Structures are given as structure tokens and as C-alpha cells.
């Protein structure tokens, strides 16, 4: 009888043949197998030479078939780890990315060194940023805003799953429009892909993730422009606006910030040395209209 390792090796070859890189195919085949089995990696390594249990091959083949269409593994399994926490993901939200943890790192560092009892997460999606912040900063409350009701429902479930729903308020609306409070932190991973870059995106992204959470206009910066204008009215004195942006956008973000009266306090690079996150301050917060 074929072993579990044999089934995984066959799936790896199938995924590679469908155009997925060998490394990614190997990881995906194992993750999908463990999802069907309900096993962690340690158990698979210990028992992978055993024969597949009843029903495994049928269920595993169906998941591999979905992956061959380039559906992301996170959407197939329905979850993704971020900041060491488990998040539900659906077609209504972006799959949390490792580079977004840079934004959380910046916000946590600020929250630990400054008086900050309230943060606003603009475009919360799965809720991964808001939930990570409340997990790290135990005295922090977060208002999490998104224009998508379906996304907010996912975020609300994730807050319950991670035990922080009592400190996060979820609001539906356009950017900061539904908020009247001032916050010590405003954080956002806004849509920042230029519309013209759609063809260059991997099929996993452009076919399966919500375009409203991906694309930010002709140069990708439409939402960042609006945030720079709207955020001062909602920022407490000595507060910070922390935003994620895309490859090649640092110079434009710096220029837009300067033109809008912001000071760039810090730029964080990802592990490849690519600028990804800007922390901004403003000396003259404006009154809420």
C-alpha cells in the first residue's frame, strides 16, 4: 500500500507539473496533507510511512486539484498564521502577509514607549493587525474599520477566536469616516497595487483575493493620499500614522507625506531590504470637523 509520504510526493509532482515552483509545491503538498489528516508536522514525520487512512486520498486529491487552479493554500484550508496567531481567511479578505508583521512591530514599539490607549486600524480585512496589536498591548483598545461587511464578519470571528473581541470595536465605513475619536496610533495596510500592475500579479492573488483590497488606483497610492489628508483630524498629540506600501513606492510616499505636512519618522525594510512601512508624525493635529 502506498504510504502517506508516497501520496505527498505524487501531489508534489502534480503541483510542479501545473506550474507551481518545486519548493512551493513541496510545502503546499505537505500542508494540504496535514490539513486533511488534522496532524501537526511532528506527527507526519513520525507516521508518514504508514498507509493513508480511509478517505484520505479522496479528500487530499480534491484539495490538490483546487491548488492546481492556483487557489491559495490559505483559502483552501481556511486559515493562515500571522504574528503567531491563527486567523480564518476567506475570499472576502486578503491573506495576511509576513511583511505586514513589520507594521505590527512598528506599532507595538510605539505603543510600548508612548501613552497610547486607542488605535485605529483602517481597512482591517481579516483583523490581523488589530488583533495582533491587542494581543501585544494589553491596555490597548482598537477601532477596526473596513468598507466590506463580509470582511468585518471574518475579522469579528478572528477576534473571538483569539480572545480579544472585548477590546476591538468593528465599524463599517470608508476610511476614517465613521470615527469621531482621536487615537495615539492609526495603522493601515491599504490597497497599494497600481491598477496597471494587475497582469504582473501571481494568479493566486489576482484571481482569488478581493480587488478592492489590492488595487489603489493608477499609481497605487490613492488610499494613502486620502489617509494623509484625513488622519490628522483623528490623531492625538504626538500620535503616529503607520502605513504599509509597496515595492518602489518609498520616494512617492515620502513626497506625499512632506506635501501633506507629515514628518517621516521611520521607514522599515523587509528581509529583502525593500522599504515596506512608514511611521509618520504631524506637529499640528487638526480638530475633528
**Block residue for cell numbers 483546487:** 66
DSSP assigned state of 265: E
Q: Which residue carries 486520498 as its cell?
A: 57
**Once rounded to an integer, what is the mean pLDDT over residues 32-57?**
95
For residue range 179-224, what is the model confidence (pLDDT) as tens digits?
999 999 999 999 999 999 999 999 999 999 999 999 999 999 999 9
C-alpha cell at 174: 470608508
Angstrom CA distances, 171 to 124, 131, 150, 163, stand at 10, 15, 12, 19
CB 100, CB 81: distance < 8 Å: no
Mean pLDDT computed over every residue of the chain: 95
Q: At a CB cut-off of 8 Å and minimum separation 6, what does 112 contact? A: 137
Supply the pTM of this predicted model: 0.91
Q: What pLDDT does residue 41 have?
A: 94
> How does DSSP classify residue 263?
E
pLDDT at residue 63 greater than cutoff 90: yes
In degrees and rounded to multiples of 5, residue 285 shows phi and psi of -60, 140
User: Per residue in 79-123, pLDDT tens?
Assistant: 999 999 999 999 999 999 999 999 999 999 999 988 789 999 999
C-alpha span between 26 and 28 (Å, rounded): 6
Please report the pLDDT score of residue 284 as a whole number: 55
Model confidence pLDDT, tens digit, residues 114-147: 878 999 999 999 999 999 999 999 999 999 999 9
> Which of 67, 202, 213 has the alpha carbon at shortest distance from 148?
213
Distance from C-alpha of 84 to C-alpha of 108, rounded to nearest angstrom: 15
Counts for the chain of helices (H) and strands (E), in that order: 11, 9
What confidence tens digit (pLDDT) does each residue in 65-75 have? Answer: 999 999 999 99
Grid coordinates representing 160 are 473571538
**pLDDT tier at 289, thresholds 50, 70, 90:** very low
Residue 152 grid coordinates: 468585518
Element (H, E) at 152: helix 149-161
Amino acid at each position: 500500500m502506498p504510504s502517506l509520504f508516497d501520496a505527498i510526493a505524487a501531489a508534489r509532482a502534480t503541483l510542479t507539473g501545473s506550474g507551481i515552483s518545486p519548493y512551493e509545491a513541496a510545502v503546499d503538498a505537505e500542508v494540504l496533507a496535514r490539513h486533511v489528516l488534522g496532524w501537526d508536522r511532528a506527527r507526519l514525520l513520525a507516521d508518514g510511512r504508514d498507509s493513508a487512512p480511509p478517505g484520505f486520498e479522496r479528500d487530499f486529491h480534491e484539495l490538490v486539484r483546487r491548488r492546481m487552479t492556483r487557489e491559495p493554500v490559505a483559502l483552501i484550508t481556511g486559515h493562515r498564521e500571522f504574528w503567531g496567531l491563527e486567523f480564518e481567511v476567506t475570499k472576502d479578505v486578503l491573506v495576511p502577509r509576513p511583511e505586514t508583521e513589520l507594521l505590527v512591530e512598528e506599532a507595538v514599539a510605539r505603543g510600548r514607549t508612548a501613552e497610547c490607549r486607542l488605535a485605529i486600524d483602517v481597512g482591517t480585512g481579516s483583523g490581523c493587525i488589530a488583533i495582533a496589536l491587542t494581543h501585544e498591548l494589553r491596555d490597548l483598545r482598537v477601532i477596526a474599520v473596513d468598507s466590506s461587511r463580509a470582511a468585518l464578519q471574518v475579522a469579528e470571528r478572528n477576534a473571538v477566536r483569539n480572545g480579544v473581541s472585548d477590546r476591538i470595536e468593528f465599524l463599517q465605513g470608508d476610511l476614517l469616516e465613521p470615527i469621531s475619536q482621536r487615537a495615539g496610533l492609526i495603522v493601515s495596510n491599504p490597497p497599494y497595487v497600481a491598477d496597471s500592475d494587475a497582469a504582473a500579479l501571481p494568479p493566486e492573488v489576482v484571481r482569488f483575493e478581493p480587488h478592492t483590497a489590492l488595487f489603489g488606483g493608477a499609481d497605487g497610492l490613492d488610499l494613502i493620499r486620502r489617509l494623509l489628508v484625513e488622519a490628522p483630524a483623528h490623531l492625538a498629540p504626538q500620535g503616529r500614522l503607520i502605513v504599509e506600501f509597496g515595492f518602489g513606492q518609498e520616494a512617492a510616499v515620502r513626497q506625499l507625506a512632506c506635501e501633506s505636512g507629515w514628518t517621516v519618522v521611520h521607514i522599515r525594510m523587509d528581509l529583502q531590504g525593500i522599504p515596506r512601512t512608514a511611521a509618520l508624525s504631524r506637529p499640528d493635529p487638526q480638530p475633528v470637523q
